[in-house]
Structure 1
Amino acid sequence: MTAAEPWVVAVDVGGTKIATGVVTRSGELLSRVVVPTRAAEGPEAIRERIAESIAEAIEGATATTEAVAAAGEGQNGQATGMARGHGQGDGRSSLAGQDGRGHGRRWQPRPAAIGLAAPGPMDTERGVALAASNLGWYDLPVGPVLEERFGCPVYLENDANAAALGEWLFGAGRGAVNLIYVTISTGIGSGLVIGGRLYRGKHFNAGEVGHMVLLADGPLCTCGQRGCWEALASGTAIARDARQIATAFPEGELYRRCGGDVTKIDVPLVAEVARAGDKLAREVLDQAIRYLGIGFSNLINMFDPDVVVVGGGVSNLGEALFGPLGEYVARHTERRVKEPARIVRAALGENSGILGAAAVAWQELGDGRA
């Protein structure tokens, strides 16, 4: 009889939704549950909703694997496949530990651990969320409460750090030793994997690269400083600059395409108008890419990573971003390095948060190739 396989529960907590899944050691996603965060109901209510989503994800994975086992019994004992995050699988047992008369895979009866990723700094040693303003979490014990409820260790991590570890273990950074993950969306965040381990810093606040000042007296940032990287090159910054240009040039294509309502201008629209040949939209993108290039060049010169993985909404620009970004970085990084860092797009897609939280749990358990 094959040994029962371990599994973890992974939770990705955001300002609008909580995504929870059951994940195997190889990154198979056996179930996925998404519920609204409802942050306005308060921190304790969010914590309770997390617990409910964990129970639901476990139940969903059990139901899925039991159904597969039952289907397999109707096909001469051959398994038909297990639902997973990257396509069809090959398991046929339930998470209750049943093995379908000795065929297929067996699962341990309870999670080996729970990994939880959320915004803001996390005290990973005590399992306490230090400051997640959009959740109303300030010095909130999350790990200890969930540990008592589910009877297994709970590991908290900042969401960008978790995404970095997820790409390193399961995604675009597999095989790397040193990795920088940068997410570019409403802001710019980062996670650092150095020597196969997350680098969190003394105060669990490492990787706040969005607040590197690149332009003295530049645009005001939400942090109160001026000229931060995210104030110059995030999706929010691109949309802001495009709206200002559209307002200044109402005869232009950007203004026409938004129907005179500049609040409708976002990164995809700017990129579309730029591709159509509009010079003003092209200037907005070129300026953002130049500042992104400065920031990435600084990070590469500072950390000398194997790979830089880029996620977030702005990464959806594809070659329109990665082509000129790569050229800029090649001109402005240390030329004595024979094999400079690759800059690649994140690979885990919509499941990056769940798989990142799972990677945190697996590495803490000693199953994260470090």
Structure 2
Amino acid sequence: MAAAPPSWHLGIDIGGTKVALRAESADGRTEEHTFAWPNHEDGPDRDLALLSDGVATLAARTGDDFQAAGVAVPATVGPDEQVTSWPSRPSWTGLALGPALRALVPGAAVAWADDGDVAALAEAAAADCANLLYVGVGTGIGGGLVLGGRLCPGPRRGSFELGHLVVALGGPVCVCGRQGCLQAIASGPATLARAGELHGEPVTYAELREALSTARPWATAAIDGTCQALATAIMGVTELLHPSLAVIGGGFTAGIDNLVDRVATHLTHLSRTGRPALPVAPARLGGLSSLRGAVLLARTVADGAVPLL
């Protein structure tokens, strides 16, 4: 009798400072593994070796092969499957991403998409909302937009690069080379850098959280700048594309009390007559939106298609 096909689906979320993997079986079992993503410029070979070790770790736990894998990547990938840009990991530029990812999971169907895009898919499913804007605040700014249940603009036309929307002319320089991108103002590192400037010395994430809990003026001003920039970007998208809901997630957001409420306040100030502010809420999946989206991508590609894209 022929062996049953593998029933596990693998999601890989490649972030700025860590990589998270999640395997889900058809009968509801799950396995997860996370490892730190070293900051180096040795080229992609070492990174791919770490990814391979991570996949092997989960495969050993499942005791089975993977039917399909979905990968959330923050890089810009061209139609020829080559990485055209990844500012935080420039050594990956020119890498043939498709063959590299398929080699990690031999025999499995593999699909990849921007981390913000897959996070938007996962959050739209969790909220049962067909028109949803996702904003992820972490090492960078991830974004995704689902309209009518489908990603906008869709991977064939490119990812939804909310982090590189210019929200402040003449603002700080972004890793992409432009000035005033949302990411250069509202990402975790950008917020901590602004907090350090206002405080007069470097500030850690834990110190920022502690200072916010006691309403220290420098901390409040630093986070207010982040929330104002986020609200500006959300309002711009709202005026053009009219989502029904915005959700804010990401690892940085999770530890900052009232960040979503602060963004909502700025959105109210930016609203105009006859056009009320867009509702904004915390991401239902928290910092796991991209990882869950990667698993969702694996499940859909296992069926021989990538719907919603």
TM-score range, shorter chain: 0.7 to 0.9
Structure 1 residue 345 corresponds to structure 2 residue 308 = no
Asked which structure has the greater RCO (Cα within 8 Å, sep 6+), the reply is 2
Corresponding position of 1:283: 221
| Correspondence for 2:300 among 363, 366, 370 | 363
- SS in structure 1 of the partner of residue 95 of structure 2: strand
Q: Could you say if the C-alpha distance between residues 127 and 341 of structure 1 is closer, same or farther in structure 2, counting changes exceeding 3 Å? A: same
Corresponding position of 2:113: 157
Structure 1 outlier segments of 4+, above 6 Å: none
Q: Could you say if the C-alpha distance between residues 308 and 30 of structure 1 is closer, same or farther in structure 2, counting changes exceeding 3 Å? A: same
CA-CA distance at 1:154 after TM superposition: 0.8
- SS in structure 2 of the partner of residue 193 of structure 1: strand
Letter in 1 for 2:116: A
Q: Could you say if the C-alpha distance between residues 43 and 317 of structure 1 is closer, same or farther in structure 2, counting changes exceeding 3 Å? A: closer
Structure 1 residue 33 corresponds to structure 2 residue 42 = no
Corresponding position of 1:199: 152
Task: Give 5+ residue unaligned stretches, structure 2.
Answer: none
Identical aligned pairs, as a percentage?
Answer: 26
Q: Could you say if the C-alpha distance between residues 58 and 205 of structure 1 is closer, same or farther in structure 2, counting changes exceeding 3 Å? A: same
Q: What is the alpha-carbon distance in structure 1 between the residues aligned to residue 8 and residue 281 of structure 2?
A: 29
Asked if the contact 1:178/1:195 (under 8 Å) is kept, the reply is yes
- SS in structure 1 of the partner of residue 210 of structure 2: helix
| Correspondence for 1:142 among 92, 97, 106 | 97
Asked if the contact 1:127/1:156 (under 8 Å) is kept, the reply is no
- SS in structure 2 of the partner of residue 140 of structure 1: coil
Task: Give 5+ residue unaligned stretches, structure 1.
Answer: 63-94, 96-109, 248-261
Structure 1 residue 224 corresponds to structure 2 residue 190 = no
Q: Could you say if the C-alpha distance between residues 266 and 152 of structure 1 is closer, same or farther in structure 2, counting changes exceeding 3 Å? A: same
Q: What is the alpha-carbon distance in structure 1 between the residues aligned to residue 242 and residue 173 of structure 2?
A: 30
Q: Could you say if the C-alpha distance between residues 32 and 295 of structure 1 is closer, same or farther in structure 2, counting changes exceeding 3 Å? A: same
Corresponding position of 1:45: 46
Corresponding position of 2:250: 312
Asked if the contact 2:251/2:287 (under 8 Å) is kept, the reply is no
1:191-242: CA deviation from partner (whole Å, max 9, x where unpaired) = 2222222235577543222222222222333333222223333333332232
Letter in 2 for 1:55: A
Q: What is the alpha-carbon distance in structure 1 between the residues aligned to residue 226 and residue 251 of structure 2?
A: 14
- Greater Cα shift, 314-323 or 292-301: 314-323
CA-CA distance at 1:160 after TM superposition: 1.9
Q: In terms of Rg, which structure is larger? A: 1
Asked if the contact 2:136/2:250 (under 8 Å) is kept, the reply is yes
Letter in 2 for 1:154: V
Corresponding position of 1:7: 8
Corresponding position of 1:183: 136
CA-CA distance at 1:46 after TM superposition: 2.6
Q: Could you say if the C-alpha distance between residues 238 and 138 of structure 1 is closer, same or farther in structure 2, counting changes exceeding 3 Å? A: closer
